[in-house]
Amino acid sequence: MVAEDSDDLWYAYNLIAVRDSVMAVTFRKVQREVPGGGRDSERVRLKLEVQVEEVDYDKDAAVLRIPCVVSQIGAFHTLEIELKRPFVLRKGIWDSLALDTLKQASDPAASADLAVVLMQEGLGQIFLVGRSQITMKIVRRDFVRNGPGSVKMVAEDSDDLWYAYNLIAVRDSVMAVTFRKVQREVPGGGRDSERVRLKLEVQVEEVDYDKDAAVLRIRGKNILENDHVKIGAFHTLEIELKRPFVLRKGIWDSLALDTLKQASDPAASADLAVVLMQEGLGQIFLVGRRYYLL
């Protein structure tokens, strides 16, 4: 694939996972001998394939950086994926989430609600209109840019859950109302279990997005004092549509803030606003970034 703009790099960042492999042309300084017995370095062009251990997206520089140890050269190297630079992504399993991300990145019609033709000076442009009316509901913000803090939010549709999946990272914490089976004593000395409603906060160790069920499953250790669940006990929070949850981060960096803005502000990535009038009813659609020239 080839990233045509910074949004494509953002999709690639969400598509590339640990243990995938990425192959691309890169540059590296290598040592060489020179006449007289000395040595100097030159910058050579190489094609390398690396197994992913970490991915960093530098939005300002419009580049993906994949640092790793490269077996072909037996050394540490950072593969940089820039705009217009082809790269190959290999996965052991192309699951439904990866396929959905790839489809959204490469097919502008995948999530379009409406096609709009705009004529200007004899030139026609087709704009594909996205889901402008529904966005992530932000109930409360309490954070410092590039510092710690929390956001309370409510996912209004499955796209919001997808944004939340990309926003929640390992070592963040998530607080939400949940249900858990707990043991209780019964008359006669026996014990049985009941399903109780609790508010728990877990430190994130794993996040899974079940697209078909429209639910996020967040597994981690409980960090909130509770009568029924001990501190440090494992629990899986299920974040469903219309269910409020609080996300806490140690650092709200530019990538997290950008993801939050795209999720909650439909105007953040809009190119055009279109008013559609039908039988006295007016609807405002915000047109996304992709279009085709006729």
* Residuewise pLDDT in 10s, the chain (294 residues): 988 888 788 889 888 988 889 988 887 777 777 777 777 777 777 788 888 888 888 877 888 998 877 665 567 778 889 888 899 999 999 988 888 888 877 765 555 555 666 666 666 666 655 544 456 888 899 998 999 999 999 998 888 888 899 899 999 999 998 888 877 777 777 777 777 888 999 999 999 998 888 899 999 999 998 888 899 999 999 998 888 999 999 999 988 898 888 888 765 555 566 666 666 666 666 655 433 332
Answer whether residue 83 is part of any domain.
yes
Distance CA 172, CA 223 (A): 12
Answer whether residue 217 is part of any domain.
yes
Segments forming the whole domain that contains residue 82: 6-93
Distance CA 62, CA 135 (A): 26
How many domains are contained in the chain?
3
Is the domain of 17 the same as that of 48?
yes
Answer whether residue 146 is part of any domain.
no
Asked whether the beta carbons of 104 and 128 are under 8 A apart, the reply is: no
Distance CA 268, CA 123 (A): 26
* Backbone CA torsion sign across 272, 276, 282, 285: negative
Answer whether residue 141 is part of any domain.
no
Q: Which pLDDT does position 119 carry in this prediction?
A: 64
Per-residue H/E/C for the chain: CCCCCHHHHHHHHHHCCCCCEEEEEEEEEEEEECCCCCEEEEEEEEEEEEECCCCEEECCCCEEEEEEEECCCCEEEEEEEECCCCEEEECCCCCHHHHHHHHHHHCCCCCCCEEEEEEECCEEEEEEECCCCCCCEEEEEEECECCCEEEEEECCCHHHHHHHHHHCCCCCEEEEEEEEEEEEECCCCCEEEEEEEEEEEEEEEEEEEECCCCEEEEEEEECCCCCCCCCCCEEEEEEECCCCEEEEECCECHHHHHHHHHHHCCCCCCCEEEEEEECCEEEEEEEEEEEEEC
Answer whether residue 68 is part of any domain.
yes
Answer whether residue 118 is part of any domain.
yes
Is the domain of 218 the same as that of 283?
no
Answer whether residue 281 is part of any domain.
yes
Domain with residue 65: its CATH number is 2.30.30.870
pTM score over 0.75 = no
Q: Which pLDDT does position 196 carry in this prediction?
A: 82
